[in-house]
Amino acid sequence: MSLSVNYHGFFEGNFGIAEATRLNAMAMESTGIKVNRISYSSDTLEKSKSDAQPDALINIFHINSNVTHEFFSKNQDINLAGHYNIVYWAWEFPEVSDKTVEFLNIFDELWVPSDFCVNIFTKYTGIPVIRFSHPIQKLAPSDAFNFEEYNIKPGSNVYITIFDSLSTTIRKNPEATIDAFINVFKNDSESVLIVKTHNLERSKDAQKVVEKYSGIPNIIIINEHFSKEKLHSLIQKSDVLISLHGSEGFGLTMAEAMSYGKIVVGTGYSGNLDFMNVNNSFLIQYNFIKTSNTKGLIAEGLTLARPDLQDATEKLQYIKNNFKSLASIKQNAEAQIRDHFSIETIGNLLTLRLSFIEKMGKKENVQGNSVDNVFYLAEIDRLTGRVNYLEKTLYNKIRKKVNIFLKKKIKGKK
């Protein structure tokens, strides 16, 4: 009987976790594993229409840790009992909440995409934490991205930065990338920075960052949902990718750029260090900061890197001065991804682990927690959130009535 898994995740959509989910499934399938792709909406977390039947005894849940509680609250028909249940999380911060840890320990195993994530979660759990890097798929050369469409002069030196505006700007940090580029290329008509984002209209913070650069001639801001082919075409036609991020669980776009032999400039911190080093890329120095004034988008007091703008400027200046003499860096970058992060390489590693799990059979959770607690904790979390919302709403209503009453009293005394 062939090896099979039920893979639960966001198989549709053009965003990072959806692409990572598809790539992992593709890697498994490349080695002959039967993957039952159970797809869910990233907006509602409800199951999409699918012909796949979850008939395997191994479940893999590729769901962001911050929505895992809600996911199981909305999908209580998933069969967990008697199955080996694996959760796949990418995480960007050294801090993990007690609620997340409590939920995590119910699963049999945690998969993560980088050693950075392994080092984080092994401090918080006794279940196996295993790194399976995202496999990188190279596409055939494509003209899906057309320079003329975006008024880019042929022959330009093309620098790019790519991010989702719904990812918090304090973590993606596009402002630092743009400022470093301006420091070196402000009056350089031969060089252009493409700021590729999407969902900009849904993030006021991201809008504030990019709008102030909209009048600079050699900075082109693109707010569009690209197909995978068009996004890879953009990378293929670029020369340098810059990511002055605060933290990445892996750094998929950086790895993709390296697979095409591009120069990559990135913060020397977090998941991207699994594939970036001083021989194949440009790593930027940094200090640490704590998140603050996050407006509820992420927790307060989380640790992030703050890349050094002067160091980034100096490295971009070096790239500009030696633009045609960086062949060895490009070759090393391409070789690193080809040799260690291909679909086949990651597929073989996944197969080894899944084969071992199948032979081992389902055992009691090492933490002694019932798998049914997944749904119990998810429902408790949902109800707690609802109560908090109602309490906040009621408080606001009472406060408004008190304010109106006080205004009338003050007005009556005049």
**Which structure tokens are listed for 376?**
């119990």
Which pLDDT band, with edges at 50, 70 and 90, does 173 fall under?
very high
Structure-token pair, residue 354? 């899944």
216 vs 365 pLDDT, higher one:
216
| DSSP track, 269-301 | SSGGGGT--TTTSEEEPEEEEE----TTSS-TT
Q: Look at residue 233 and tell me whether its pLDDT is greater than 80.
A: yes
Which amino acid type is present at position 277? N
Query: What are the backbone dihedrals phi and psi of residue 373, each rounded to the nearest 5 degrees, phi first?
Result: -65, -20
User: Which residues contact residue 21 at a Cβ distance below 8 angstroms, ignoring those fewer than 6 apart?
Assistant: 7, 9, 10, 11, 62
Whole-number pLDDT of residue 368: 43
| Contact assessment for residue 81 and residue 372, using Cβ atoms and an 8 Å cutoff | yes
Collapsing DSSP to helix, strand or coil, 91 comes out as: coil
366: pLDDT confidence band, cut at 50, 70 and 90?
Answer: very low
pLDDT over 50 (residue 108): yes
Asked if residue 248 has pLDDT above 70, the reply is yes
Question: Using CB atoms within 10 A of its CB, is residue 227 exposed (0-12), middle (13-18) or buried (19+)?
Answer: exposed
Any idea what the Cα angle at residue 334 is, between residues 62 and 167, rounded to 5°? 40
Q: Which of 218, 223, 216, 266 is nearest to 241 (CA)?
A: 266
Average pLDDT over residues 339-347: 97
- Specify which residues 129 forms β-bridges with: 110
Separation between Cα atoms, residue 205 and residue 381, nearest integer Å: 28
Q: What is the pLDDT of residue 292?
A: 84
How far apart, in Å, are the Cα atoms of 5 and each of 33, 37, 45, 46, 74?
8, 9, 20, 20, 21
Q: Confidence band (pLDDT; 50, 70, 90) for 168? A: confident
Band of the pLDDT at 1, cuts 50, 70, 90? very low
More confident call, 300 vs 408: 300
Residue 365 confidence (pLDDT): 42
Mean pLDDT of the chain: 90
pLDDT tens by residue, 210-223: 989 988 999 999 99
Q: What is the pLDDT of residues 4-47, one digit of tens each?
A: 999 999 999 888 899 999 999 999 999 999 999 999 999 999 99
pLDDT band at 403 (very low <50, low <70, confident <90, very high): low
**Residue 145 confidence (pLDDT):** 98
d(CA 131, CA 134): 9
Span 304-332, mean pLDDT? 97
151: left (phi over 0), alpha (psi -120 to 50) or beta: left
Q: What CA–CA distance (Å, rounded) separates 340 from 204? A: 39
Question: What's the CA gap between 199 and 385, in Å, rounded?
Answer: 26
Domains of the chain, first to last: 4-135+344-376 (3.40.50.2000), 147-341 (3.40.50.2000)
Give the mean pLDDT of 331-348: 98
pLDDT at 378: 60
Over 70: is that where the pLDDT of 385 sits?
no
> Does residue 376 carry a pLDDT above 60?
no
Residue 401 has pLDDT above 90, yes or no: no
